[in-house]
Structure 1
Amino acid sequence: MIIQEILSGESKNVEFKENLPERSIKYMKSVVAFANGNGGKIIFGIADKTNEVVGFDKEDIFKKMDAIANAVSDSCEPAIIPDITLQTIEGKTIIVVEISEGRQRPYYIKALGREGGVYVRVAGTTRLADEYMIKELMFEGSNRYFDQALCTGLIITDQDIDALCKAMKEQAVKNSHNKEQKASIKDVGRQQLRSWGILIERDGKDYPTNAYAILTGCGGLHIATQCGVFKGTTKEIFVDRREYTGPIWEQIEEAFQFVLRNIHLGATIEGLYRQDIYEIPPDAIRELIINAMVHRSYLDHGTIQIAVYDNRLEITSPGKLPMGQTLERMKEGYSKIRNEALAHAFSYMNLIEHWGSGIPRIIGKVKAAGLREPEFIGGDVDLRINIYRGQIEPVEDNRINKIQVINTKMPNINKKVPDTTDNMPDTDKKVPYNVDDVPDTIERLPDNEQMKHIYKDVLENGSITTARAAELLGVKQRRARAVLLDMVKKNYLKKEGAARSTIYVKNL
């Protein structure tokens, strides 16, 4: 296993150190980051650039092991107990420090405190945790759910509660699959909302939780779904966009209809009848949108983004995967609930069926339609799922082979469109977007995660130094400089000054 990891190089959960650094904080950040994530290994005695096995002399290797154990014990809070072992590779002895996934989150470096000492792993690098990530870790560490916490500042009346109960039952009836299921639906009352965590009762009065605000679209939480159609396969030129707010079930339906309007609709003849067939199974589309709504992080102030490109449908959900969840486990059907109150509400409204079955069912429906398996990307900061358009594999249902495109449902793209665009510009609720009014230039964010973090910092602060970039990414200055120069080459940034006075600014 260790040999395979060495051959594969550093990754999200594996880090190499050629020597034991004199200052333990240089690797303690990674120790904390692994404990705050899914665990990982730091392997001492491997050159991180070449993967060459360097090893250590046998005379002092046990002193080094003791030094590592003492540094972890003295530096981290809460306590982290690493598993430190020796391995012999190519006749050379290395030290393997394995850090397990922690349960008492957030873990941080004592000397830096909780405010500045919490680190996480992002795209194979160690970086300082954002404020929302620290809050997310705190909820995970205390086994609580953000959606069940009191929504401060939101005042509701008895009529508001009754209206929510009525609307939820209407949705349950609407989403029923058959008469038997519809007949079995019972009224939902206040006691039920309390048990789910949508309401909190104090001194005989009901108060709303964050789940209430999310479900109804009320309160200080800005919950929105952004949808866009892009020309080509990147976000450089957009054709149409919408932003939907309001009750969560309305956002689901509006986003679902937006996608259907902007993908190909074909027809097949079965006997004497014509049957309409979308290029992507509608059930899979709707289930993906629902999955994003119920599992996203609402601590992250970002929005769910649904983008239709020429070659794919892309759905991006804000927030890292919850503790214990991985992309592989998710695809296998393992369910890790992030928002328990919402999960109960969605289940009652027949928006989700059995917890954890959604992703495997989506994968099955997409593959059955002759499309390639959906692509799952990220999980450190957000989760992106791509469904690629266009049939690539034969399927057993021969009707698919008879599909003729009769209506592409694509907007007119011959109007004036901007040269560049950001991830998804804002717009007013339900107001059709007029592409004639689009400015010539809008911010275009890099696709690379490291570049994106740097670019956002430049937009906020006006410039960035190599030292600041290294701190932001949690990498050495040499690596940070390489990323900055690559951004200069790609015309995102411009280099100004020389030597120690060098800064990087936005390339206008």
Structure 2
Amino acid sequence: MTIEEILAGESKNVEFKEDLPEKSIKYMKSVVAFANGTGGKIIFGIADKTREVVGFDKEDVFKKMDTIANAVSDSCEPAIIPDITLQTVDGKTVIVAEISEGRQRPYYIKALGREGGVYVRVAGTTRLADEYMIKELLFEGSNRYFDQALCTGLTITDEDIDALCKAMKEQAVKNAHTEEQKASIKDVGKQQLRSWGVLIERDGKDYPSNAFAILTGNGGLHVATQCGVFKGTTKSVFVDRREYTGPIWEQIDEAFQFVLRNIHLGATIVGIYRQDIYEIPPDAIRELIINAMVHRSYLDHGTIQVAVYDDRLEITSPGKLPMGQTLERMKEGYSKIRNEALAHAFAYMNLIEHWGSGIPRIIDKVKAAGLREPEFIGGEVDLRINIYRGQIDGTVDLNSPNTAVKLPLNRRETADKVPANEQEQQIYKYVSENAGITTAQAMKLLGIKQRRTREILVKMVEKGWLRKEGASRSTIYVKNTEGR
């Protein structure tokens, strides 16, 4: 991008200085911020507010270039070597100091020290880095992964390890796409967990990494997923709010089901059969939640937020994009792993397929459903992805061999005749084929915890699909035939 193009528009990684400041710290903060980010340019000789090209006299310009080079060399740690050039704009000479993305992070101003001299770029401004960001930069600079670091304060037993291995295999089988893939799944053991970095072996004993704590929902790390439904297009009025904790695969499933309960559902008639169709492709929703889980920063103490508005589904993932990643590269399928142990575990559990293919696949599925391309926002503090909701029309193509009649329904307002999501369908099928179902039987059938099972059963009663009989331990849920 030329300076003329920059002046015509905006660039978040460009700063203008009318003259060389007397105190170099005024621009040195931006120098280290650019090195800690994706790089940037400081252009001397252009007024910041008016964008007026002032330029420098040819007699002084080389002296000013040397001053900039010396100031950067003397002020920054580790060493930063800027590319300083002269350019002519509107017949006037300006100085361009280009700072490349650094690899020895964190960069800081020597005089302020690492504690007070680390700066980063946020929304086009230079800001002092907080504690979490400094830790993030330290891991990046040393080419290490936070999820593979020792989880201090968490003690585990062989039984805990065996329980995780068993649960992971159950998830792998559950998420397998074909019988052939299901049959090929092997047991996962301690050695495999060590090679991924889920376990850390020291003196013949296994210790948990942060990945172990994240996967199981144990340890000092508060890993949670917040879900909410909001009236309108802002967070000012909420309709429903939930927070899910526990093993990460349970959070994925609970967040996924939460979204399905709160978006529109229609029907497609294929031949003589009715098929449910959601306004947003369920596969895209699930992949988006999984992508947020595996790629978020767990150094950031924030939570993944899944919000349903009248006009969009919004998923926010804590943490800046990892070093070397950009929004553009991500949409093209470039993968930059932030949590290597989790990525291996997710791949084993068939939660992710080929690394980097998730985002392009999500975009394709959303566009194929007739919706606008997902919107990607941020990347400097957090990443927000919006999928805009489309209205389901009532068009019927009578000439089509697969006539589709789309009926707009809302999961929170309408009791459909047949359950829509997979878990509800499993319970409904079981109840239809048997005298009824207990909470314990439903837990075993779905492979989820008691709290979530009861939540599903209560919803099915509220929607009129089931009827509750008995009380306490003798409670059974039977098919509701009243008014049907």
Do the structures match in fold with TM over 0.5? yes
Partner of 1:409: 412
Cα distance in 1 for residues equivalent to 2:225 and 2:97: 43
- Cα RMSD of the aligned pairs, angstroms, is 2.0
Helix, strand or coil at the partner of 2:408: strand
Does residue 138 of structure 2 align to residue 138 of structure 1? yes
Q: Give the Å deviation of 1:402.
A: 3.2
Partner of 1:308: 308
Decide whether the 8 Å contact of 1:6 with 1:51 is kept in 2.
no
Partner of 1:147: 147
Decide whether the 8 Å contact of 2:393 with 2:407 is kept in 1.
no
Does residue 290 of structure 2 align to residue 287 of structure 1? no
Helix, strand or coil at the partner of 2:56: coil
Decide whether the 8 Å contact of 2:118 with 2:134 is kept in 1.
yes
| Map 1:39-50 → 2, pairs under 5 A | 39-50=39-50
Decide whether the 8 Å contact of 1:227 with 1:241 is kept in 2.
yes
Decide whether the 8 Å contact of 1:10 with 1:124 is kept in 2.
no
Distance 1:10 1:269, change over 3 A: closer
Equivalent residue letter for 1:218: N
Cα distance in 1 for residues equivalent to 2:266 and 2:284: 17
Helix, strand or coil at the partner of 1:307: strand
Decide whether the 8 Å contact of 1:17 with 1:44 is kept in 2.
yes
Cα deviation code 1:283-338 (max 9, x no counterpart): 00000000000000000000000000000000000000000000000000000000
Runs of 4+ in 1 over 4 A off after TM superposition: 391-395, 397-401, 429-432
Decide whether the 8 Å contact of 1:263 with 1:410 is kept in 2.
no
Equivalent residue letter for 1:85: T
Cα distance in 2 for residues equivalent to 1:387 and 1:232: 15
Helix, strand or coil at the partner of 1:252: helix
Cα distance in 2 for residues equivalent to 1:158 and 1:147: 20
Distance 1:22 1:117, change over 3 A: same
Equivalent residue letter for 1:278: Y
Helix, strand or coil at the partner of 1:402: coil
Helix, strand or coil at the partner of 2:356: coil
Equivalent residue letter for 2:180: E
Cα distance in 1 for residues equivalent to 2:160 and 2:193: 13
Q: Give the Å deviation of 1:11.
A: 2.6
Cα distance in 2 for residues equivalent to 1:276 and 1:232: 25
Partner of 2:82: 82
Partner of 1:380: 380
Decide whether the 8 Å contact of 1:29 with 1:126 is kept in 2.
yes
Equivalent residue letter for 1:41: K
Decide whether the 8 Å contact of 1:262 with 1:411 is kept in 2.
no
Cα distance in 1 for residues equivalent to 2:329 and 2:392: 26
Partner of 1:339: 339
Distance 1:150 1:10, change over 3 A: same
Cα distance in 1 for residues equivalent to 2:8 and 2:296: 31
Cα deviation code 1:108-130 (max 9, x no counterpart): 00000000000000000000001
Partner of 1:179: 179
Identity %: 87
Decide whether the 8 Å contact of 1:370 with 1:394 is kept in 2.
no
Cα deviation code 1:372-393 (max 9, x no counterpart): 0000000010000000001599
Cα deviation code 1:248-284 (max 9, x no counterpart): 0000000000000000010011211111000000000
Helix, strand or coil at the partner of 1:101: coil
Helix, strand or coil at the partner of 2:42: strand
Partner of 1:453: none
Q: Give the Å deviation of 1:158.
A: 0.3
Q: Give the Å deviation of 1:400.
A: 9.3
| Map 1:46-445 → 2, pairs under 5 A | 46-391=46-391, 402-410=405-413
Cα distance in 2 for residues equivalent to 1:327 and 1:111: 34
Cα deviation code 1:429-453 (max 9, x no counterpart): 9798xxxxxxxxxxxxxxxxxxxxx
Decide whether the 8 Å contact of 1:261 with 1:410 is kept in 2.
no
- Greater Cα radius of gyration, structure 1 or 2: 2
Partner of 1:7: 7
Decide whether the 8 Å contact of 2:266 with 2:277 is kept in 1.
yes
Q: Give the Å deviation of 1:90.
A: 1.0
Decide whether the 8 Å contact of 1:10 with 1:48 is kept in 2.
no
Distance 1:289 1:28, change over 3 A: same
Q: Give the Å deviation of 1:51.
A: 1.3
Decide whether the 8 Å contact of 1:47 with 1:54 is kept in 2.
yes
Cα distance in 2 for residues equivalent to 1:205 and 1:227: 39
Cα distance in 2 for residues equivalent to 1:310 and 1:35: 40
Helix, strand or coil at the partner of 1:297: coil
Equivalent residue letter for 1:24: S
Q: Give the Å deviation of 1:349.
A: 0.1
Partner of 1:476: none
Q: Give the Å deviation of 1:23.
A: 0.3
Helix, strand or coil at the partner of 2:324: coil
Cα distance in 2 for residues equivalent to 1:369 and 1:132: 39
Equivalent residue letter for 1:37: G
Decide whether the 8 Å contact of 1:39 with 1:100 is kept in 2.
yes
Cα deviation code 1:226-267 (max 9, x no counterpart): 000000000000000100000000000000000000000100
Task: List runs of 5+ in structure 1 lacking aligned partners.
Answer: 413-428, 433-508
Cα deviation code 1:30-75 (max 9, x no counterpart): 0000000000001111111111111101110000000000000000
Task: List runs of 5+ in structure 2 lacking aligned partners.
Answer: 416-450, 456-484
Cα distance in 1 for residues equivalent to 2:100 and 2:44: 17
Cα deviation code 1:331-358 (max 9, x no counterpart): 0000000000000000000000000000
TM-score normalised by L of structure 2: 0.83
Distance 1:30 1:118, change over 3 A: same
Cα distance in 2 for residues equivalent to 1:247 and 1:222: 12
Q: Give the Å deviation of 1:89.
A: 1.0
Equivalent residue letter for 1:208: P
Cα distance in 2 for residues equivalent to 1:174 and 1:62: 67
Cα distance in 2 for residues equivalent to 1:22 and 1:392: 62
